[in-house]
């Protein structure tokens, strides 16, 4: 019997995916790394092994459903049953809608939405037969609240949210022990802002409060082993999601005013720079982007999500204290 957890991570060669792979490796997992760039996959594999895990690498585009199915079979042939599948891969385009091209919408949808669908299908096919396993969908506050200049990405994350809701209800209906969870993320300091396709005059940046990818990776690891319905990372995620439920028109106004400037630095964009929409951008970018000095290493919201007993216990204590005070009156 295989004693080591078997995990698959898509988009694992850089950014958040690489941090997720690191987090599982620290716990001794066997991690199958899926991404398009062979060299970055090799670098990620070495890091996983240095951290105490084992790694297999699979150069692939998550938009290729047949390839993802083949990889799932190869992982199980090599290591045995997949315990956790993390759908993380994404691409985006920073552009006003009236400058977008139809093929760009198609491509973002195929990777950011259908890539999660295909990964889920490959994992579910195997997990259902043994009634065991966990699938993690990586979402975003933008799955609830669209922002300017990222219509393709926001739409894809909205689609992931709808897919997740449907799948979760089906698993509950079937009384399945296969678990599915979704983690909603804030702005992250990842290399995507160096290689995302952009039509804006200045270089792109994460909007709002920025968190290091390790912050999200810790919550994703926790979610894989405590798969509640949804986890949120970062106060800004809670603010965006709740704000959109309560007063979406205010969100419209604020984003119309701040959304363009908030997603650009003051540094001019490099004309004709390569992007990763269709092809990889060469170089080992690692897990972090260029905003380390502006990024936060801790999220109180993420911590509370991973330590739910703490606020519950605090509420009980507060209730006891209040009750005692009232009885003494």
- Residues 55 and 21 sit within 8 Å (Cβ to Cβ): yes
Asked if pLDDT for residue 151 goes beyond 80, the answer is yes
Average the pLDDT over 14-19 and give the result: 98
What is the predicted pLDDT for the residue at 171?
Answer: 98
Tell me the C-alpha distance between 6 and 74, whole Å. 12
Smallest CA-to-CA distance from 21 within 212, 213, 276, 183 is with: 213
Token duo for residue 147: 């922002």
Tell me the C-alpha distance between 326 and 248, whole Å. 40
What average pLDDT does the chain have?
93
Asked if pLDDT for residue 315 goes beyond 70, the answer is no
Tell me the C-alpha distance between 152 and 100, whole Å. 9
For residue range 154-200, list pLDDT tens digits in order. 999 999 999 999 999 999 999 999 999 999 999 999 999 999 999 99
Helix (H, G, I), strand (E, B) or coil at 329: coil
- Residues 38 and 49 sit within 8 Å (Cβ to Cβ): no
What is the predicted pLDDT for the residue at 248?
Answer: 94
Q: Where are the domains of the chain?
A: 6-298
Instruction: Please state, in angstroms and as integers, the Cα–Cα distance from residue 22 to each residue in 73, 131, 206, following that order.
Output: 23, 27, 22
- Residues 107 and 57 sit within 8 Å (Cβ to Cβ): no
Q: Would residue 164 show up in a list of annotated catalytic residues for this protein?
A: no
Given the residues 113, 144, 153, 285, select the one marked as catalytic: 153
Asked if pLDDT for residue 302 goes beyond 60, the answer is no
Given the candidates 3.30.1310.10, 3.30.420.270, 3.40.50.720, 1.20.1260.10, the CATH classification of the domain at 6-298 is: 3.40.50.720
**How many other CB atoms are found less than 10 A from the CB of residue 89?**
26
Token duo for residue 286: 């690692």
Residue 86, CA atoms < 13 Å, CB-side half-sphere: 34
Tell me the C-alpha distance between 222 and 190, whole Å. 21
Element (H, E) at 47: helix 38-50
- Residues 92 and 150 sit within 8 Å (Cβ to Cβ): yes
- Work out the pLDDT band at 301, boundaries 50, 70, 90: low
């Amino acid at each position: 019997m295989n004693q080591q957890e078997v995990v698959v991570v898509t988009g694992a060669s850089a950014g958040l995916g690489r941090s997720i792979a690191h987090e599982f490796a620290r716990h001794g997992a066997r991690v199958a790394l899926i991404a398009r760039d062979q060299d970055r996959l090799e670098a990620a594999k070495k890091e996983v092994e240095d951290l105490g895990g084992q790694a297999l690498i699979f150069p692939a585009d998550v938009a290729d459903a047949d390839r993802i199915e083949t990889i799932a079979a190869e992982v199980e042939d090599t290591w045995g049953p997949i315990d956790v599948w993390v759908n993380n891969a994404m691409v985006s385009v920073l552009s006003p809608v009236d400058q977008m091209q139809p093929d760009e919408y198609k491509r973002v949808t195929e990777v950011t939405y259908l890539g999660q669908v295909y990964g889920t299908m490959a994992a579910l096919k195997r997990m259902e037969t043994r009634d065991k396993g966990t699938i993690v969908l990586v979402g975003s506050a933008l799955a609830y609240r669209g922002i300017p200049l990222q219509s393709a990405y926001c739409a894809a994350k909205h689609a992931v949210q709808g897919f997740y809701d449907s799948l979760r209800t089906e698993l509950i209906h079937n009384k399945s022990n296969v678990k599915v969870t979704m983690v909603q993320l804030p702005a992250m300091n990842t290399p995507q802002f160096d290689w995302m396709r952009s039509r804006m005059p200045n270089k792109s940046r994460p909007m709002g409060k920025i968190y290091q990818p390790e912050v999200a990776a810790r919550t994703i690891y926790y979610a894989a082993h405590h798969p509640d319905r949804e986890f949120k990372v970062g106060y800004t995620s809670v603010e965006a999601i709740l704000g959109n439920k309560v007063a979406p028109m205010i969100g419209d106004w604020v984003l119309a005013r701040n959304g363009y400037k908030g997603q650009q630095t003051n540094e001019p964009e490099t004309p004709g720079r390569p992007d990763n929409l269709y092809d990889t951008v060469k170089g080992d970018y690692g897990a972090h982007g260029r905003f380390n000095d502006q990024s936060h290493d801790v999220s109180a919201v993420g911590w509370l999500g991973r330590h739910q007993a703490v606020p519950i216990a605090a509420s009980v204590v507060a209730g006891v204290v209040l009750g005692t005070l009232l009885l003494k009156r």
